[in-house]
Structure 1
Amino acid sequence: MAPKDNDPTSSGSTVVASSPAPIKNALNLDVEHTPFTHPELLGEFPTITYDPIPVLPYEDRALKADPTFKNLLADATVKHLEPKIGTEISNLQLHELTDTQKDELALLVAQRGVVFFRNQKISIQDQLALGRYYGHLHVHQTVGHAKGIPQVHVVENSLEVSEKRIKAQALEPVNLWHSDVSYERQPPSYTSFKVLTTPPTGGDTLWASAYEAYDRLTPQFKTFVEGLTAIHSSKHQAESAIINGKTLRRPIVEFEHPVVRTHPVTGRKALTLHRDTSSRFVITGQRMQ
């Protein structure tokens, strides 16, 4: 069945990361900058345009999964990192998963928010194949991607990128919290993130539970926000790309999404609002009363 306009797609947005130590940290302390160590993945910014993303059929593989995880976790070591979010799995290689195990992985991600795997032998092509198993892969309209692979968003700390990112973090760090491309008509259901290089300290990528953010609201505030919607826009990202001389490869989009969304797999409510792309609330006269 095709999803509503604000339903997620079953797409996986594939990301490759290289995160060398920045040249200055938030405390303005000098740190040695490490060169990008994967030139074959250095992000490129093609001067081409893409058609708007069509409405895609929604089918989440997690809905087919065995809730006991007996196939995925039979020989794995499982460590829950926090009570509400985050699980680390050892003794399992992602590129060797069966379809049944992949379905159970999707369910585990839906429940735990983020799942980590160390010491993986997965290649870029393996990662792409895993993402395609879950659905259509998203192609970003402005960011750099691996050469010839527009579905792979490369996050790297070149000298220029590091300086700009540090300034942004120092001024408004709260703006860095986000859910990937929430301004799309159908935001991705999953993101695959592979870390290639990390600094000895700092540069952390953090996750927060949108389930828990909603659960911690007071009953009165839950009642208020459940009726709200917000406009999510790609305008800010587009303007930043143009200012930096990059090509806007797809037109700016804005879509209205509920502030509280019910996850189609778990049935849990989640707070989906952030300053990165949510530009304004939509409040009717009746709600104001």
Structure 2
Amino acid sequence: MSPDRFRHFAAIDWSGAAGERHAGIAVALCRAGESAPRIVRPGHRWSRAEVRDWIAEDMPPETLVGLDISGSLAFEDAGAYFPGWEASPGDARALWALVEDFSATDPHLSAGSFVDHPEIARHYRRHGGREGDLFGGGIGRLRVTERTGQTALGCRPTSNFNLVGASQVGKASLTGMRVLHRLDGHIALWPYDPLPERGHVAVEIYTTIAAIAAGRPASRSKLRTFAELNAALSAIGSKPVRGSGPIDDHRSDALLAAAWLRTVAHDARYWQPAAMTEGIARTEGWTFGAL
């Protein structure tokens, strides 16, 4: 890939929480080179719909944008997202469409109605001790990118079928799928789309991978002071951001991830992970950077 393929790099720390606007959503952006990343619309509380619109309409030219979501569900281990259900979607795009269809009346791009469906609920662990008979026990089903790439880096991935606990990622991923469905056709969504020669590209990221690349252990990936953030930025060749004292980890995750994307985007290995087959790319997707 040409070293100047992308001119801008963005990262979005996501939230699946209830409500319209979220302190947990942060959008960061940096230019090619080594300039410091910056927060987009500082002080603004983003809605998920606004993030979608910013990606589709307002990003600067040739942006690689990373969304801190899981873009799909486990498929490879059982040959289906919802094994035993004849209406189980056949690929990620069909899954996004199903989430959108079942959640069409849910406000703020939430997806509670999707997991309330009687067949789908059988596969989820939900609040109130509700665990579907097909959840599978333990931590739940994982995608190949989680079982191999993320685990090899020292991460402790969580199943997208788990909706319980502080570390659960299922809600954020389902809301993210609604955004991917609404972005489909507007920009390239890797790896569900091949990497185009020009234009914007969106990828799935896991901000812990960026922290590991900056020398942080996975268990201490959260950066809660400007000093910690700037040390991490320096480790990956970025100039520091302005500020001192504490910083919330939503902003620091986004800032570091945007700068990290800039350092790895032109490395072909990240676009061709060894364990990602064509089938996996089409059904499960992949976490950018999980080699």
Task: Establish whether TM, by shorter chain, passes 0.5.
Answer: no
TM-score interval w.r.t. the shorter chain?
Answer: under 0.3
Structure of higher CA gyration radius: 1
More strand by share: 1
TM-score, reference length from structure 2: 0.27
